[in-house]
């Protein structure tokens, strides 16, 4: 267990999906998408009270169990629609586990299966940041250049004007200021009471976990799925080569 008390890891995976059909069990580099998150979570299971998959779908539940995940319930339909927010999904999981185990959780770790590049070290670093105190949550972000606010414009009276940050002509991307960061969906670590009493995953005080370039891709479209397959194969091949040279185990599969 970590020094944060009891942490519940929740992998939410509903059956419906608009952008990529059945994406949670879509084969990516030979494995169902959800398998990558399950595998990483189980390698870090000593840090958690339990690691569970919350789904409404029998097929997803079967696949999740095949890869070693615990699926203690099937989520009700009202928590599985396109418009269902994540907060009640996590609250349902917390209530179920606390009632079943007769405990009071301390933190909830949301691990979205649409982020297959997450590393064990990301989980560990998030917990280290949370253990420093003075935060309601830890959320992963990545630095952005192509989506920096300096590039955003608005049209007023037929003229192109800055949306919020003035861009000087010829500014190099490495000179964009201030540095901008975007949530990438890989890590959400939240205090139990922030989730249950404030109905929030973020809370008021958020610590950032800055992930490295290439360590995150959120699969929302077919192009995302194709890119993820390329990145996963590159990572597997690269880790295989490093293991052969060092005889060290992988932190990610």
Query: How does pLDDT run across 209-219, given as a tens digit for each residue?
Result: 999 877 788 88
CB proximity list for 43: less than 8 A, separation 6 or greater:
120, 251
Helices (H), the chain: 33-43, 58-66, 86-101, 120-131, 192-198, 222-246
**The predicted structure's pLDDT at residue 117:** 94
* Mean local confidence (pLDDT), 37-60: 97
Alpha carbon dihedral 188, 193, 196, 199, in 10-degree steps, equals -70
* Mean local confidence (pLDDT), 120-127: 96
Give the 3-state secondary structure of residue 104.
coil
Strand partners, 183: 141
pTM: 0.88
Q: How confident is the model at residue 238 (pLDDT cuts 50, 70, 90)?
A: confident
Q: What percent helix, strand, coil does the chain show, rounded to 5? A: 40, 20, 40
Q: Which helix (H) or strand (E) holds 207?
A: strand 206-210
Strand partners, 209: 140
**The predicted structure's pLDDT at residue 235:** 86
Which region holds residue 228: left if phi is over 0, alpha if psi is between -120 and 50, else beta? alpha
| CA dist., res. 200 & res. 70, Å (int) | 25
Burial 28-61 (b: 16+ CB within 10 A, else e): bbebbbbbbbbbbbbbbeebbbbbbbbbbbeebb
> C-alpha 108: how far from its chain's center?
12
Mean pLDDT of the chain: 91
**The predicted structure's pLDDT at residue 21:** 79
Across the beta sheet with 50-54, what order do the strands follow?
50-54, 7-12, 107-110, 180-191, 137-144, 206-210
Q: How confident is the model at residue 243 (pLDDT cuts 50, 70, 90)?
A: low
CB proximity list for 199: less than 8 A, separation 6 or greater:
87, 91
């Amino acid at each position: 267990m970590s020094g944060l008390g009891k942490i519940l890891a929740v992998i939410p995976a509903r059956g419906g999906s608009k952008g990529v059909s059945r994406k949670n069990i879509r084969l990516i580099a030979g494995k169902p998408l959800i398998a990558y998150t399950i595998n990483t979570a189980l390698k870090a299971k000593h840090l958690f009270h339990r690691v569970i998959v919350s789904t409404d779908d029998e097929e997803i539940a079967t696949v999740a169990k095949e890869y070693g995940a615990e699926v203690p319930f099937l989520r009700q339909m009202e928590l599985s629609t396109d418009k269902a927010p994540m907060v009640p999904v996590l609250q349902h999981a917390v209530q179920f586990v606390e009632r079943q185990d007769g405990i009071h959780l301390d933190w909830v770790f949301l691990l979205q299966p649409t982020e297959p590049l997450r590393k064990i070290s990301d989980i560990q670093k998030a917990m280290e940041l949370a253990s420093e105190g003075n935060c309601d949550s830890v959320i992963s972000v990545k630095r952005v250049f192509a989506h920096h606010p300096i590039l955003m414009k608005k049209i007023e009276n037929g003229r192109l004007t800055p949306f919020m940050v003035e861009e000087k002509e010829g500014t190099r991307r490495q000179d964009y200021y201030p540095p901008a960061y975007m949530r990438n969906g890989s890590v959400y670590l939240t205090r139990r009471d922030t989730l249950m009493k404030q109905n929030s995953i973020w809370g008021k005080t958020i610590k950032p976990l800055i992930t490295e370039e290439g360590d995150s891709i959120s699969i929302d479209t077919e192009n995302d799925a194709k890119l993820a397959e390329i990145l996963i194969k590159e990572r597997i091949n690269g880790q295989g080569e490093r293991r052969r040279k060092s005889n060290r185990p992988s932190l990610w599969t």
